[in-house]
Amino acid sequence: MRIAVIGAGIIGVTTAYELATDGHEVTVFERRGSVAAETSFANAGLVAPGYVTPWAAPGMPRKVLKHLFSRHAPVRLGGLPDGALLRWIWRWWRACEPQHHERNRSRMFRLARYSQARLHRLTRRLGLDYEQSKGFLVLLRTEHDLALAEPGMRLLESLQVPFALADASACRRIEPGLNPETPLHAAIHLPEDDVGNCRQFAHLLKAEAQRRGVQFRFHRVVQGIAPGSGPRLHHVGSPAQASSTLADGASDTDPGDGADGGVEERFDAIVVCAAMASAPLLRPLGLHLPLAAVHGYSITAPLREPDGHQPPGPRAALMDERYKVAISRLGQRVRVAGSAELGGSLEHLSDAAFATLYKVLDDWFPGALQVRQVQRWKGARPMLPDGPPVLGPSGAPGVWLNLGHGSSGWALSCGCARALADLIGGVGPEVDLEGLGIERLR
């Protein structure tokens, strides 16, 4: 089949690769000049299936309201919510009911565990090196933080996720660089979870996809989709503009065919993986997906040279549970990522959000980074109100969906891509996709 993939983030790249592996002729359309140039550019890099859960959970509305008035809030409002965001919040609030949360949590965990296994298989088979390491430590500053984490540990136990509760001294053996001056009561250690450079993986997999014949057309904006037995898409050239939120992203530009007036092309199938840009493309087809941009922030900087006293920075990945901030080791750099900002825009950067990242970094690894070389980033994570992505046929002939992964796109990407390729090829997926189709949103 001749298949078009719209979007070259981590979801689009993995989807293109899996389709090409099955022998399809694949063309990827991307408005930027490179893969993984937006939401996939500088995320935390965590692949932790036990922590891939819906944001819509019992008790979350109360917690969110409480956080909104905190100085170092893990959840923020980027501005006054408009009507669309208010409707999304209403649907999210309804999805927080226990029976809905339980179903959606099971769906997301099942998909995340399968995706992690698929990531490992690809890594071994292709010999990929994307600054990956193993181990995830969830830091609990006080006994009260531990009490709040106990339901999560019971959930990990019920899901049969390997973990151990470590006291402060054991934590410092796992991560010797932790600041001894910052109070630490305990931590949850997940030895089989992963951290890796999502953007680097996307570039490596892009090269593998190209070796299998995938064409990447950069600086191409898809303006419309016409469904049917031979669905068509209309695309136009986009000027090579670097986003103000991307500091030094390398561009491997391919301007496509350079047609100023745009081009309409016919395919056997079209897969929409365009994150927030998916909603306006699908609306004319009668698909009104309740997608909201939940913005995340990160800072990335090189490690300082060791001074002989203690290793600088983390060995793998950590999460400060109180502030919901992740600290990830990526080669000789460290990334600090967090915040969930509702509303606002990519162009407006919150000083308060960055201040929280710096605070958590300084609490645990003071002086570890070359802060004069910090790269700041903000990305729009496309989230559906109930949590899981939507995966499978759109209901419009010839149009397929792989979108709405929220903050778990990296953790879910390889599994979603393989499952969608199986669906398009008429093969039963290896993972149960119950509840992940478009019908649940209607």
Look over the chain and give the mean of its residue pLDDT values, rounded to a whole number: 91
Confidence of residue 80 (pLDDT cuts 50, 70, 90): confident
Q: For residue 266, give the DSSP letter.
A: E
Q: Can you give the pLDDT at residue 242?
A: 36
Q: Please state, in angstroms and as integers, the Cα–Cα distance from residue 104 to each residue in 111, 197, 383, 438, following that order.
A: 11, 27, 13, 14
- Global pTM reads 0.93
As a whole number, mean pLDDT of residues 140-160 equals 94
Per-residue model confidence as pLDDT tens digits over 247-265: 333 334 444 444 457 899 9
Q: Tell me, what's the pLDDT at 310?
A: 54
Residue 182 has pLDDT above 90, yes or no: yes
- Over 70: is that where the pLDDT of 184 sits? yes
Task: Give the pLDDT confidence score for residue 344 in this predicted structure.
Answer: 85
Whether residue 185 contacts residue 146, with contact meaning beta carbons closer than 8 Å, is answered with yes
Given a cut of 60, whether residue 244 has pLDDT beyond it is no
User: DSSP string of 182-228?
Assistant: S---EEEEEEEEEE--HHHHHHHHHHHHHHTT-EEEESEEEEEEE-S
> For 8-17, 152-161, 204-213, which range has the lowest pLDDT when averaged over its residues?
152-161
SS3 content of the chain, % helix, strand, coil (to 5): 35, 25, 40
- What is the pLDDT at residue 79? 80
Task: Taking residues 416-427, report their average pLDDT.
Answer: 97
Under the phi-then-psi rule, with left for phi > 0, alpha for psi from -120 to 50, and beta for the rest, what region is 311? beta
pLDDT of residue 71: 79
Cβ proximity of 328 and 412 under 8 Å? no
End-to-end distance of the chain based on CA atoms, in angstroms? 29
Give residue 309's pLDDT: 56
Mean pLDDT value of segment 407-413:
96
Which region among 156-160, 182-186, 368-372 has the lowest average model confidence (pLDDT)?
A: 368-372
**Confidence band for 59, pLDDT divided at 50, 70 and 90:** confident
Q: What is the pLDDT of residue 259?
A: 47
Average pLDDT over residues 278-304: 95
Cα–Cα distance measured from residue 145 to residue 135, given in angstroms and rounded to the nearest whole number: 21
- What's residue 313's pLDDT? 87
